[in-house]
């Protein structure tokens, strides 16, 4: 018999109430032992909880969820206790004494998945909803939990199955006139899927950025004012500001909420040629982070006509922002070379004084507008994790191979089967055990 598990479902620490969750075949017996009798199903019932020796543990609201209509699909219960550490410990001890064991991370949700109550993408959405810090993250996770993402993959798989059935007919009846005709009918189905998967992959960044945070790199030469700008934008002293060049060696990330979205703003080593090994490593990390970021703010000291801007030019992309800093120093903010580069590369130009806070508000607004424009979408994005993007890419590869193999229906059919398997792995109905382990390990205990 599978073990009955329990865990504190609310955050540890002193609180008005604490919820202990129990799930597994022995739940009914344990609830009866603790509270005297089973309460009616799904009805909050006040009960005195007692240990085996009769000692009262708490007066608690109990909920009994007989399987299969419970979160896990098994018999399950919730005990709403007074939130003190001693009460929780007493009930935990009593449950352990009755034979329950402490649940591992995500074990309740894993059981729900195994019972077919949730698909894998929905289980991921449960974790995302628990982790959500912004309204946008919560909205996206909820849409995914309600099946918006899974539905899209199901439709793709159904269309794939139709194309596959056509090709299989061509393989099964090679002597009749069907084959050529049938392959011709399968081709447009595959073409349509290829186009849609390509579009979904092109849009993959949106969902991942909503979930993980929209990354903005502050890049520029040493002493241009990167740390000062990070602090001004973040509204607190997150980075160390010093007059000496080359102080920031590691990437310093600060999480902010802009336009309702999570944003990761990063300060990093100034880009300049160096032979000093620690600084060189800092520059390498800065380049890697900035290259992968969604947006780069290029800081140039306005008094520095050239701007050690050349160091980063290869990383700049259209849509990035050139920030001319230190305009309070009174020098005409010419920075001619940087401005020319900005015009050539399609960068917006803004003037600020990070030290005095001038122009910082306008910069924050410009960045917010950009984040909102990029991340807001009418629908639930098709991809919210790297895992989805990887499998979607695999499926697309197989579909494209199937398309070229079409004159040989048996080969094309095999590629379609592989594409279907890759799509199925996203919602997890075909799942490798190790993938499940990794996904559920990232959950909190009690979920």
Q: Does 309 help bind ligand GDP (rule: CB under 6 A)? A: no
91: left (phi over 0), alpha (psi -120 to 50) or beta: alpha
> Which positions from 244 to 263 touch ligand GDP by CB under 6 A, shown as an x/- string?
----x---------------
Specify the stretch interacting with ligand GDP by CB under 6 A; choose among 29-37, 101-109, 220-228, 379-387: 220-228
User: Measured from the CB atom, is 208 or 256 closer to ligand GDP?
Assistant: 256
276: left (phi over 0), alpha (psi -120 to 50) or beta: beta
Q: Does 242 help bind ligand GDP (rule: CB under 6 A)? A: yes
DSSP 178-220: HHHHHHHHHHHHHHHHHHHHHHHHHTHHHHHHHHH-EEEEEEE
Specify the stretch interacting with ligand GDP by CB under 6 A; choose among 44-52, 89-97, 148-156, 225-233: 225-233
Can you name the residues that pair with 358 across neighbouring β-strands?
A: 353
User: Measured from the CB atom, is 304 or 374 closer to ligand GDP?
Assistant: 304
DSSP 9-59: -SPSSS-SEEEEEEESTTHHHHHHHHHSSPPPBT--EEEEEE-TTS-EEEE
Q: What does DSSP assign to residue 105? A: B
Interface residue with ligand GDP among 280, 303, 350, 355 (CB under 6 A) is 355
Residues numbered 275-294 forming contacts with ligand GDP, rule: CB under 6 A: none
CA distance 273 to 396: 41
User: Measured from the CB atom, is 243 or 277 closer to ligand GDP?
Assistant: 243
> Which positions from 325 to 344 touch ligand GDP by CB under 6 A, shown as an x/- string?
xx-xx---------------
Q: Does 270 help bind ligand GDP (rule: CB under 6 A)? A: yes
Q: Does 312 help bind ligand GDP (rule: CB under 6 A)? A: no
CB of 293 to ligand GDP, least distance (A): 17
CB of 330 to ligand GDP, least distance (A): 9
Interface residue with ligand GDP among 227, 383, 398, 413 (CB under 6 A) is 227
Q: What does DSSP assign to residue 415? A: H
Residues 6+ apart with CB under 8 A from 1: 25, 26
Phi/psi for 349 (5° steps) reads -120, 130
CB of 235 to ligand GDP, least distance (A): 15
Contact positions vs ligand GDP (CB under 6 A):
220, 222-228, 241-243, 248, 270, 325-326, 328-329, 353-355
């Amino acid at each position: 018999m599978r073990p009955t598990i329990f865990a504190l479902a609310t955050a540890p620490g002193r609180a008005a109430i604490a919820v202990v969750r129990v799930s597994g075949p022995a739940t009914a017996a344990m609830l009866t032992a603790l509270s005297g009798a089973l309460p009616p199903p799904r009805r909050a019932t006040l009960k005195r909880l007692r240990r085996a020796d009769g000692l009262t543990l708490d007066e608690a609201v109990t909920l009994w969820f007989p399987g299969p209509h419970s979160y896990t699909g098994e018999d399950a219960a919730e005990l709403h206790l007074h939130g003190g550490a001693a009460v929780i410990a007493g009930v935990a001890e009593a449950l352990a004494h009755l034979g329950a064991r402490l649940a591992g991370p995500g074990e309740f949700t894993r059981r729900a998945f195994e019972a077919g109550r949730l698909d894998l993408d929905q289980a991921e959405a449960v974790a995302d909803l628990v982790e959500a810090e912004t309204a946008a993250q919560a909205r996206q996770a909820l849409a995914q939990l309600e099946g918006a993402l899974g539905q899209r993959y199901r439709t793709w798989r159904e269309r794939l199955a139709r194309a596959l059935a056509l090709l299989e007919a061509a393989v099964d009846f090679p002597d009749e006139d069907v084959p050529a005709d049938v392959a011709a009918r399968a081709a447009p189905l595959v073409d349509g899927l290829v186009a849609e998967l390509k579009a979904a992959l092109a849009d993959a960044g949106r969902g991942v950025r909503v979930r993980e945070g929209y990354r903005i790199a502050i890049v520029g030469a040493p002493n241009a004012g990167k740390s000062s700008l990070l602090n001004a934008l973040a509204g607190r002293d997150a980075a160390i500001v010093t007059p000496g060049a080359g102080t920031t060696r590691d990437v310093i990330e600060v999480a902010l909420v802009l336009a309702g979205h999570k944003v990761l703003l990063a300060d990093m080593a100034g880009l300049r040629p160096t032979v000093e090994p620690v600084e060189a490593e800092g520059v390498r990390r800065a380049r890697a982070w900035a290259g992968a970021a969604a947006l780069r703010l290029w800081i140039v000291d306005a008094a520095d006509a050239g701007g050690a801007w050349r160091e980063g030019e290869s990383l700049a992309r259209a849509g990035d922002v050139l920030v001319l800093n230190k305009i309070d120093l009174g020098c005409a903010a010419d920075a001619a070379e940087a401005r020319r580069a900005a015009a050539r590369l399609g960068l917006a130009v803004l003037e600020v004084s990070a030290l005095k806070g001038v122009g910082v508000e306008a910069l924050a607004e410009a960045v917010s507008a950009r984040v909102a424009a990029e991340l807001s979408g009418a629908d639930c994005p098709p991809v919210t994790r790297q895992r989805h993007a990887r499998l979607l890419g695999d499926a697309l590869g197989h579909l494209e191979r199937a398309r070229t193999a079409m004159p040989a229906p048996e080969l094309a059919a095999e590629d379609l089967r592989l594409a279907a398997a890759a799509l199925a792995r996203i919602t997890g109905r075909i799942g490798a055990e190790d993938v499940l382990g990794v996904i559920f390990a990232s959950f909190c205990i009690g979920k």
